[in-house]
Chains A and B, each alone.
Chain A
Amino acid sequence: MKKSRNIRWAALAATAAVSTAALTGCGGTGGTGGSADPAELEGQTITYWASNQGSSISMDEEVLGESIDRFTEATGVEVELEVIPWPDLYNRILAAVSSGEGPDVLNIGNTWAVSLQSSGAFIPWEGDALEAIGGQERFVETSWATGGAEGQAPTSVPLYGLAYSLYYNTAMFEEAGIEEPPATWDEFIETAKQLTKDTDGDGEIDQWGFTLAGQRVSNNAHQAFVRGMQNGGELYTEDGQPDFTNDGVVAGVTQWLDLMDENGVVDPSNAEFTDGSQLPPELIDGRAAMMFDQAAGKTFAAAEFEDFGVAPIPMNSADATGKEGTQSHVAGINVSVFANSDAKDAAIAFVGHLTSDEEQKTLNAAYTSLPVVTSAMDDPAFDTPEMAAKKVTYAEHSQPMPLFPSEGQMETLVGEAIAGLFADIAQGEEVNEEDVRAALEDAQAQMPAS
């Protein structure tokens, strides 16, 4: 190839090839499988994508591996397990949905349930499939409600129940002479300020009242929801239209940001934190005194850290109820079966196994999460202070995240907007309510039309 013209064409072809970010895939859906005779399942193999629930991937492999062994022994079905870290799970699911090539069974964050339901990629839990897992009545009502949009057969089944709690370092509280965890938001700020100090006298603060992950998008969105509700605002109108800029939501988000900005009780370096797993070490190492988390107990246990207490998330007023009394969204993990699965009956049987009374006790005790079936709720394993606090929040002070198909986009856009504001604050900018409103307005403008 001597001539320059050929080189030009080759270069242009290379340009085209290199520059295109192509999105490919093929789709397809199938019907719901039914309950099957266990003998018919023997010899089948299914794949299972589990979310990372333990303090490490290896912990998940150990806990779930034992559960899978029990299932294989009972049914003869082999299960190929893959534990997927949270940052990757959402994209892996999307890729599986778009290509039609996914696992047979997979875990999803329950706030994604309605968004993923609208893709049509998962079997609806009704008829024989629902019967195979023992029917809807077995499940805690709040948990079951997260499985899909209202009025439609859910496409995911609850697996682990979670709720946000306030975790605090009891040794630091004791040292500061604080006897009780704060119950109201004002008390919380005061307590956090009391715990924010320079302990070694070098003129720099080295102990902070509170820690958060400023770049963790989902957590920011959850706090926008909770703090918005406490201030009388909701992220969607009743007919499913995004409404991020109402006064309640703006006030709630401002409260969350002010922890770093106006109140100064959060280390600005937290604005770089991208992962919730970065928070427990802050309490363990004495760099921060309080944090919000859904199930930090297992991480503290793995680190043999015992100086921690658990309390409900502070509210604007201690006796708030209803919307204003929201302390957490109904958090948790659901499990779905791919409609494209070649082994639907085995997959449904496996979901039945994971949600059975015994497995619910074992798995949730290991993950310090709540069982989602009523019969397991009273097990002594869930009477620890951490679990008891979570149970009250879950039953009395939790509201499901908005059950609309665009919830997934909402979490991303609102969470990113808040992450950007945390970055501004960390770099010394002052952020007021108008800045918050403008950032949320920008996020709302990017939402897909309903």
Chain B
Amino acid sequence: MTTHATAPTSATEVITTGRRGRGPTPATGRRRRRTLFPYALIAPAGVMELLIHIIPMLLGVWIAFLSLTQLSIANWVAAPFVGLQNFITSLDPAGPIGSQFYGALLRTIFYTVVVVGIAWSLGIFAAVLLNSKFRGNGVLRTLFLVPYALPGFVTTIAWAFIFNQRDGMLNRLLVDDLGLLTERPFWLLGGNSLIVVIVVTVWQFWPFAFLMLLAALQSIPDEVYEAASLDGASLWKQFTGITLPMIRHANVVLLLMLSLWVFNQFDVPYLLFGPASPEEATLISPLIYQQSFNNWNFGVGGALSVLLLVVLLIASAFYIRLVMPKGQTIDD
């Protein structure tokens, strides 16, 4: 380059120069590059998000409006359009699918509240316990993280063995060893099956709650507790007055994530019960699977997926609005 443009001395000059149509100066070029650079960095992630989440999600919504069965699955683009029929079928409380949907929805809400409640309680208890220094702290931390580190597939199968009616460890303990029961109850059939799903899900998720809460607790300076202690605050008062408020933002995110994961739970019931859960333990995601892949009714499966999406969006919107009032920042 043999010629050099004179650098503008002010922003006004840059704008004025630009308006005269003399092309970008090196400074504006740098600024544009600087503006575009972050977008370039996130572009691959954006494309992947589009391919992995957004497009399949839109296709899932589209499928909800089609009569998609094995007759049309090989060329689903040409599947007959049935408008809202799949939604009407799914929402009809008098119909077999609608009644299953409402039952599964209520059950899933109950299951989510119980699992998240227990997982959070165990997590906060363990986190508070291990946030103080004592001998064996490291061993316990590792031990508590084991359920999270083990493959869920393996642990759930192991749980299925434990809950087996005839030869399972639990019934051996309750009936043969402790003599607490005279009859061997069924855990994987009937009403008890929901308890089993709750137990196994809590086992899988509470270490995540523990991990997140422990990280949050470690950001609270010790001096705050020392000062409170000098002022005579009890441990419970310290917990409710210092700990909970100071980890509030971690809790907001943690509870939202746990609720979404648990509400969408599929792996645990599928591994415990196979493709068809007992009626008393049928959750929303397995119900969608059953309609789509057991009954080959992909249209209804799609409609149920959309309804699930709507329910979760509404619940999440309410949650976020209630927990984080408008204008509040994450780090205040």
Contact = CB atoms under 8 A, between A and B. Distances in A.
Given A98-B74, A215-B274, A20 B57 contact: yes
B296 interface: yes
B246 interface: no
A22 B293 contact: no
B189 A423 contact: yes
A215 B143 CA distance: 36
Contacts of B198: none
B279 to A, nearest CB: 6
B306 to A, nearest CB: 8
B77 interface: yes
Nearest to A419: B276
Q: Interface SS of chain B: helix, strand, loop or mixed?
A: helix
Contacts of A119: 70-71, 73-74
Nearest to B263: A19
Interface size band for A: 35 or more
A234 to B, nearest CB: 21
B309 A19 contact: yes
Interface string A266-286: 011101101000000000000
A121 B260 CA distance: 37
Q: Interface SS of chain A: helix, strand, loop or mixed?
A: helix
A232 interface: no
Nearest to A271: B189
B91 to A, nearest CB: 15
Contacts of B292: 21, 23
A29 interface: yes
A108 B172 CA distance: 40
A120 B74 contact: yes
Given A17-B53, A29-B74, A119-B73, A23 B330 contact: no
A406 B68 CA distance: 13
B316 A15 contact: yes
Interface stretch (A4-12, A72-80, A179-187): A4-12
Interface string B302-314: 1001101100110
27 contacts: A2-B329, A3-B329, A4-B327, A7-B324, A11-B256, A14-B257, A15-B312, A16-B57, A19-B263, A19-B308, A20-B305, A22-B57, A22-B305, A23-B305, A24-B55, A24-B56, A27-B75, A94-B296, A100-B74, A115-B296, A121-B74, A215-B274, A405-B71, A412-B294, A416-B294, A423-B278, A427-B186
Interface of B: 49, 53-57, 59-61, 63, 68-71, 73-77, 95-97, 164-166, 184, 186, 188-190, 256-257, 260-261, 263-264, 274-276, 278-279, 285, 288-289, 292-298, 301-302, 305-306, 308-309, 312-313, 316-317, 320-321, 324-331
Interface of A: 1-5, 7-8, 11-12, 14-29, 87, 91, 94, 97-98, 100, 115-116, 118-121, 215, 217, 267-269, 271-272, 274, 405, 408-409, 412-413, 416, 419-420, 423-424, 426-427, 442, 445-446, 448
